Amino acid sequence: MSRISGSFRDPSGNVFKHENKILRTVSKIAEEKYLSIKNIIQDSIKNNFLIDTIEINDESLKKKFNSSFLLEHKKIPYISYPYEWTFEQLRCAALHHLNYQIFLLDRGFVLTDASAYNIQFIGSNPIFIDSLSLREYENGAPWEGHNQFCEQFLNPLVFSSENKINFNNIYKGSFEGIKNSEIINMLKFMTKIKPVIFFNILLPNFFDSLSKKKKISESLNKKILIKKNLFSKNAYLWLINSLKKFILNIKNPSNKTFWGRYNEEKTYSEVNYNIKRNIVKEFIERNKLKKIADIGCNDGDFSELCILSGSEYVVGFDYDQNSLEKSVLRSKEKKLNFLPLYLDATNPSSNMGWFQKERDGFLERCDFDGLIALAFEHHLTIAKNIPLNDMINWLLSIARVGLIEFIPKNDPTIQIMLALKGDIFPDYTEENFVKFLSSKALILNVNKIGDSGRKVYEYRKID
């Protein structure tokens, strides 16, 4: 068994991976709380707010984990983090959190925090994963997770919407989102005086600064609020509903880009496009690959094809936000087991957090059965100056088998790139591509894409 490092902060219990199962212990100090929330946990599952969870009655297993109560969670196909989501995915996760709070309050319970990391996606569907982050509602108690919700949900959304800058890199750099004190300096005056921004960001930040100056502890403030009953359940619900309305209507800043219009403006014929589709379809069906990584997924066309050809789950990665938003829409409308995520391949998510183990990096989470990297490699080797051999090594580290498309220099797409920076890539040849790939993997098939000059190489990594 191995403890999932991201759960170490939770005093209520830790999460473990054991025999390909996800198990959660309940600590001694949380046993009474767990008994009080058992029923609401099941209600939450039935209403699609909480991950499927069952209580394990195997006494020997409970003894092994030194826990009187042991829970098993449904396994998430691929763990993702907020800084890898699109604007729409973060909005969707925020609304899921708020709707879950409303659901709980109506039944006399609340969430104990508002961590965005407690929400994961299965395809396009958000799901809450921390079954012990619930407690009974105390009359007059404030929303303990309000500040955290702003930092990890509201502020990144507002930042992107108002500044038309993607939140991903700033979120990844700060790990816990964007602080109220930081986002205030990023917003225009007219934005700051919007009621939701004023009451949820400016005013709390003002009182937080004031309390620090007066050395009033947060716990004392909470005791005063509870004693005077200043925060009724109606006020709690009003605050949540006002945030929900604001987030529903906040504008997505994604702009049209060349890659976002790629399928409409692709530089090769429909015949060649269908040839590539047939190559992918045959590859998936022949190898019976369950979980696929689609590197450079664009609008998700080939990711969807993988699912239609028999794959159970596809995680698509791309750098272009407009393309990713199209993928998210495709996944949602067609109810696909397809999760699109933001990835800068030259600066992917690394091991982060405490001891650099709290959040696993991109490669640490790669447990894919297969890879498709179509019209991708030149984005690293030509656009980003990544040596051809390094690019191949990186792709092969993602999955043992896969498809990699090679695009020659005379291709119109590469010609556009070379026109901007000149041909400074004498080693970028198909001969070198084959040499580097065959040194690490068996080349099983080479498929020409019609008369385009492009080829798709099927590989199997050498042990």
Per-residue model confidence (pLDDT) at position 280:
98
Taking alpha carbons only, the member of 152, 171, 70, 78 closest to residue 111 is: 152
Q: What is the mean pLDDT of residues 414-438?
A: 92
State how beta strands 401-406 and 370-373 pair.
parallel
* pLDDT 10s digits, 230-282: 679 999 999 999 999 999 999 998 765 544 555 554 556 899 999 999 999 99
Question: What is the spatial distance between Cα 22 and Cα 16, in angstroms, rounded to a whole number?
Answer: 6
CATH of domain 259-461: 3.40.50.150
Choose the weakest-confidence range: 68-72, 141-145, 337-341: 141-145
User: How confident is residue 214, by pLDDT bands cut at 50, 70 and 90?
Assistant: low
Q: By the 8 A CB rule, do 93 and 80 touch?
A: no
pLDDT of residue 211 exceeding 80: no
DSSP 120-135: EEETTEEEE--TTSEE
Cα four-point dihedral sign 134, 139, 144, 145: positive
Question: What is the spatial distance between Cα 449 and Cα 158, in angstroms, rounded to a whole number?
Answer: 44
Contacts of 249 (CB under 8 A, 6+ apart): none
Per-residue model confidence (pLDDT) at position 263:
55
| 72 HSE (CA, 13 A, CB side) | 11
Choose the weakest-confidence range: 89-93, 185-189, 384-388, 399-403: 185-189
Contacts of 357 (CB under 8 A, 6+ apart): 5, 351
Per-residue model confidence (pLDDT) at position 226:
41
Question: What is the spatial distance between Cα 93 and Cα 178, in angstroms, rounded to a whole number?
Answer: 16
Please tell me whether residue 402 adopts helix, strand or coil conformation: strand
| 313 HSE (CA, 13 A, CB side) | 15
Please tell me whether residue 237 adopts helix, strand or coil conformation: helix
| 336 HSE (CA, 13 A, CB side) | 27
DSSP 43-111: HHHHTTSB--EEEE--HHHHHHTT-S-EEEEPPPSS---GGGS-HHHHHHHHHHHHHHHHHHHTTTEEE
Taking alpha carbons only, the member of 214, 6, 61, 236 closest to residue 142 is: 236
Question: What is the spatial distance between Cα 386 and Cα 287, in angstroms, rounded to a whole number?
Answer: 30
Q: How far is CA 399 from CA 351, 355, 404, in A?
A: 19, 27, 11
Per-residue model confidence (pLDDT) at position 157:
97
- Total-model pTM: 0.92
User: How confident is residue 205, by pLDDT bands cut at 50, 70 and 90?
Assistant: confident
* pLDDT 10s digits, 134-159: 999 999 888 999 999 999 999 999 99
Q: What is the mean pLDDT of residues 319-342?
A: 97
Taking alpha carbons only, the member of 243, 281, 232 closest to residue 91 is: 243
Contacts of 391 (CB under 8 A, 6+ apart): 377, 380, 381
Size (the chain), residues: 463
Distance between the two ends of the chain, CA-based, in angstroms?
26
* pLDDT 10s digits, 177-201: 999 999 999 999 888 889 999 989 9
Token readout for 311 is 């794959």
